[in-house]
Structure 1
Amino acid sequence: MGSLYIVICDDEPAQLSWMEAAVKAWAEERRRPVCVDSCRNAEQFLFLREEKREPDLLLLDIDMPGADGMSLARRLRAEGKDMQIAFVTGLAEYALDGYDVEAASYLVKPVEEKRLYACLDKAVMRWEKEPTSLLFETAGGMARVKLTEVAYLESTAHNTWIHGRGDREPIRCITGIQRLEERLQEISGNFFRIHRSCLVNLACVARINRKEITLDTGEVLPVARGRWVALNQAYLEYYRGRVE
């Protein structure tokens, strides 16, 4: 399992500091790898997600200067972002509004540690249960695809084609395969580059040899000469992880 990425967005420095320390204490107690970032307003959060990636959980204050937390949450949902959002605020009257943006939890300040821990535990349960998705940028907008439905990615010229399992039509993505590989490595260890222009989902591989792999769809893909040893090791580690 990868690291859970949590972002805390709150304009109160003391609250922000306490929340960050509490989340790290929860992670240590639960023995769960976690990465935590913090920001003071919606603008900082939007900049942060461009620099890094979408968080798995956003702990979001509502009453902030500039764009408030509810406006930010509505914007994220309008963009198709499916991250979990938990509101952390002193404005209890906004609780019902949280349903409009599918809020995972609602914590009222001053936040009790046990309630925060319960919120984080619930977020982990949802995270483990739901297949991880990735947003792919296409010429016509954004396409959200569950990684379990991706068989392999293939680079051609300036595009990357996302090939799904079954009869699904490939999606033409305008992001380069190198950038997509970096994003995939952050959230999944299942993808391996078998040659310069192809990333394959190891969960879809039925057979491998030194020259080619066969997917569970029957499709055959070539393996670069210098990639066999690393591919064989990655394939064995993937299946050892499944058995364990």
Structure 2
Amino acid sequence: MVTVGICDDEKQQRTMLRRIAESYFQLLGQEYRVEEYEDGECLLRKVQQDPYGTDIIFLDIQMSGMDGVETARRIRHFSREAVLIFVTGYEDYVFHGYEVGALNYIVKPYAREKITLVLDEAVKRLEMDCQRCLPVQQGSCLSKVPVREIRYLCSQLRKIVLYTVNGQLEFYGKLGEVQKQLPGCFVRTHQRYVVNLAYADEVRPNQVLIGKDSIPVSKKYSQELSGAFARFLLQQ
């Protein structure tokens, strides 16, 4: 299922965009859900609670309260994966999209053809992201775990415990070798731990907080981890 978020402080604009998006996914035969947000604060709260819960976000740049650009910057602190599409009445604002990795932009009044093309791009991006998986061998069974669902990894003797958004998974392997198969947001914090910075709520000198879990940080990796986390936030 694809979840689409539409953030605009004008109800009429949200409704128009919702109808076009719903028509698009119905013709595509794709399961979907459309959620509306009347301001950036509401959207940001949702993303904080569930960083991977919204796949595509249409974000109006000019809104009362927190504007779309600032909302996008804050979203990127919690979600690298969400596909951002700016909505604006003025093309002068388009350059802001490069700062936050926006996929594209649409200009009001909405043109169905333009939105369809942008949604085509967004769906392709999502398909590419979904294909990024970590192969896991358990006995004679080989399974694939979506990288975006991995929160952190822990080495226990000859086994690795994978902590994902859906629970735990154990398999034999070496932590260093597994880390090489993962993107740069996966960083070593300890001889036995690797964390996905996309899920890190707070990085401290001796621990990383991921939800209710506290992952230890050794002196050996502390400085490197702090630098990686700072760069990660700047890239969002």
Q: TM-score, normalised by structure 2?
A: 0.58
CA RMSD of aligned residues (A): 3.1
Query: Which residue is equivalent to 2:27?
Result: 29
Query: Which residue is equivalent to 2:7?
Result: 9
Query: Which residue is equivalent to 2:112?
Result: 113
The aligned runs of 1:147-158 (5 Å cut-off) are 153=162
Q: What's the CA shift string for 1:31-71, capped at 9, x where partnerless? A: 11111101010111123335655311111000001110000
Quote the Cα distance in structure 2 between the aligned partners of 1:12 and 1:164: 50
2:41 maps to amino acid = E
- Find the partner of 2:149 among 104, 125, 134: 134
- Find the partner of 1:167 among 136, 156, 174: 174
Q: TM-score, normalised by structure 1?
A: 0.57
Quote the Cα distance in structure 2 between the aligned partners of 1:164 and 1:67: 45
Q: Structure 1 pair 154/90, CA: closer, same or farther in 2 (3 Å)? A: closer
Query: Which residue is equivalent to 2:36?
Result: 38
**Any unmatched runs of 5+ in structure 1?**
137-142, 145-150, 178-244
Q: Structure 1 pair 76/153, CA: closer, same or farther in 2 (3 Å)? A: same
Query: Which residue is equivalent to 2:141?
Result: none
Structure exhibiting the larger radius of gyration computed from Cα positions: 1
Structure showing greater relative contact order (alpha-carbon pairs closer than 8 Å, 6 or more residues apart): 2
* CA contact 1:161–1:170 (8 Å) conserved in 2: no
Q: Sequence identity of aligned pairs in percent? A: 27
* CA contact 2:150–2:162 (8 Å) conserved in 1: no
2:118 maps to amino acid = C
**Any unmatched runs of 5+ in structure 2?**
133-145, 154-159, 176-191, 196-208, 214-236
* CA contact 2:104–2:118 (8 Å) conserved in 1: yes
Quote the Cα distance in structure 2 between the aligned partners of 1:153 and 1:101: 30
User: How many residues in Structure 1 have an aligned counterpart in Structure 2?
Assistant: 159
